[in-house]
Amino acid sequence: MKIERIEAIPYEIPYVRALKFASGEVTTADHVLLRIHTDAGFVGQADIPPRPYTYGETQASIVAVIEGIFAPALIGMDPFRRQAVQQMLRRTVHNNTAKGAIDIALWDIIGQATGSSVWSLLGGFAPSMRVSHMLGFKEPEVLLDEARRFGEDYGITTFKLKVGRRPLALDIEACHVLREGLGENVEIYLDANRGWTANEAIEVLRRTEGLGLSFLEEPCDAKEAMGRRRLVQMSTIPIVGDESVPTAGDASRELLSGGCNGLCIKTARTGFTESQEVLGLATGLGVDVYMGNQIDTQIGTIATVVFGAAHEATSRRAGELSNFLDMADDLLADPLVITEGRIHVPEGHGVGARIDEDKLAFYRVDG
Ligand code: MUC
Ligand code: MG
C-alpha cells in the first residue's frame, strides 16, 4: 500500500463560549482537517488545531508545511512505516500539531487496513475514559455554576481550573469558592499556562494549602529553570509539564532536570507513536500522567479517548475531553456523548472519526 494524495483542508467553526486562559483565548476553531489517501482506497484522518501561543503554528503555516514539506516526502511511502515517517518528520523542527496529525492519520489507515480499531492496536485497556472539564477565566460564582452544571448534565466530577492571573488573589479566591461550593469529592487541579513566576506559584500553593488540589500544570516558563526546580522541590503536589514538554525529548529533559514531576500527554502534538514514548517515560520513571486537551474538536477528542483508554496509566485519571461542548457545531457525523462522566471509545475500524461531508463543505475556507 502507498500514500497517494494528501489534503490539508482549513475550516472554521465558531465557539458559543470563548475559552480564555493565561497564554491566549479561543473564539473560533480555525483548524485544519488532514486527509491521507492511499492507493488501496483507505483514507486516514486527523484534526489539527493551530495554537500560535503554544507552538507557533497558524492555520496557514500548518497547510504550508504539510503541502510544502511533509506531503512531498510522504507520497509514495507505505503508511505502515511509521518509524520511517517519524524520522522524516523530525528533520523539520517544531510544527508539532501538523506532525501529530500525520501520525494519527497513519494509524487510522493501519486500523482500517487491518480491520482493527486503533484503540485495540494501541493496547485496548478500557472501553471508555472519565472526563475532566476545563474551566476558563471567569468570575468565581460563574465558575461554580458552570462546574455544577457540568456535574448535573454530564456527571463530570473532575475540573481543571485555568489560573495564572495577577493579582494572585483572583485565582486563589476562585480555588476557595470552587472547593467550598463543590465539596471534597470533586477533583480540582490548576493550569497557569506560564502566567506566573515560580515564586508567585509558590505563594499560590501556600495560600491554597488544605484545599486538596491535585496538580499544578505549567505554573511559569520552564526556561526559568532554577525557580522552577525550587518550586518542584517545595510543592506537595506534582508540577505538571504541558507546553514545556511538546516532544518526548523535552519531557525527558524536564523530568531529569527537575522542571516538572508530572506529564500531560496531548495526542494533537505527539500523535500516537510519540505519545507512547512520553507515556513510557512517565510509567518508567513513576510520575503521574494524564490526557490533556489542545482545545480539540470532536475529531481531536476521539484521538485522545482512543489513546487514553488504550493504556492503563492514562486511564487512571480523568482526561480533558469536553472542550468541544463550547463549539457551535462540529464536523463529526456521529456526535460524541458524555454520559455518567465518561466518553466511550468509538466502534469500528481505524480511529473511528466519521466526517459529515456536508458540514465539511459548509465550514471549509479554502474556496
Ligand atoms: C492547556 O492545557 O493548556 C491552552 C493552551 C494550550 O496549548 O492548550 C490549552 C489547554
Ligand atoms: Mg496546559
Domain holding 149: CATH number?
A: 3.20.20.120
Q: Is 83 a catalytic residue?
A: no
Would you say residue 350 lies in a domain?
no
Structural domain contains residue 151:
yes
Is the CB of 51 inside a 6 Å radius of any atom of ligand 1? yes
Q: Which of 103, 217, 274, 320 is labelled catalytic?
A: 217
Residue 90 belongs to some domain of the structure? yes
- For residues 300, 304, 309 and 311, what is the CA-based torsion angle, rounded to 10 degrees? 140
Instruction: Tell me which residue range forms the domain holding 320.
Output: 120-344
ipTM (interface pTM): 0.99
Looking from the CA of residue 243, the nearest atom of ligand 1 is 7
**Does one domain contain both 125 and 72?**
no
Residues 100 and 143 grouped into a single domain: no
Residue 334 identity (one-letter amino acid)? D
In a mutational test of the pocket of ligand 1, which residue from 54, 133, 301 has the highest number of ligand atoms less than 8 Å from its CB? 54
Catalytic site includes residue 217: yes
Quote the number of domains for the chain.
Answer: 2
- Catalytic site residue from 266, 274, 296, 298: 266
Nearest CA owner, ligand 1 atom 7: 54
Q: Does the residue 367 lie in any domain?
A: no
For each of the chain's 367 residues, which pLDDT tens digit applies? 999 999 999 999 999 999 999 999 999 999 999 999 999 999 999 999 999 999 999 999 999 999 999 999 999 999 999 999 999 999 999 999 999 999 999 999 999 999 999 999 999 999 999 999 999 999 999 999 999 999 999 999 999 999 999 999 999 999 999 999 999 999 999 999 999 999 999 999 999 999 999 999 999 999 999 999 999 999 999 999 999 999 999 999 999 999 999 999 999 999 999 999 999 999 999 999 999 999 999 999 999 999 999 999 999 999 999 999 999 999 999 999 999 999 999 999 999 999 999 999 999 999 8
Distance, CA of 167 to CA of 186 (rounded, Å): 26
Active site residue 191: yes
Same domain? 167 vs 70: no
Kindly name the residue from 30, 191, 274, 330 that is annotated as catalytic: 191
Q: Is 294 near ligand 1, meaning CB less than 6 Å away?
A: yes
* Residue 266 falls in the annotated catalytic set: yes
Of 1, 11, 6, 4, nearest in space to 70 by CA: 6
CATH number, residue 19: 3.30.390.10
User: HEC profile for 296-327?
Assistant: CCHHHHHHHHHHHHHCHHHHCCCEECCHHHHE
Same domain, 183 and 257: yes
- Provide the residue count of the chain: 367
Residue 91 DSSP SS3: coil
Q: pTM higher than 0.90 for the full model? A: yes
User: pLDDT value at position 367?
Assistant: 82
Q: Which three cell numbers stand for residue 116?
A: 482493527
Q: Catalytic annotation on 330?
A: no
The three-point CA angle 22-23-26 to 5° equals 100
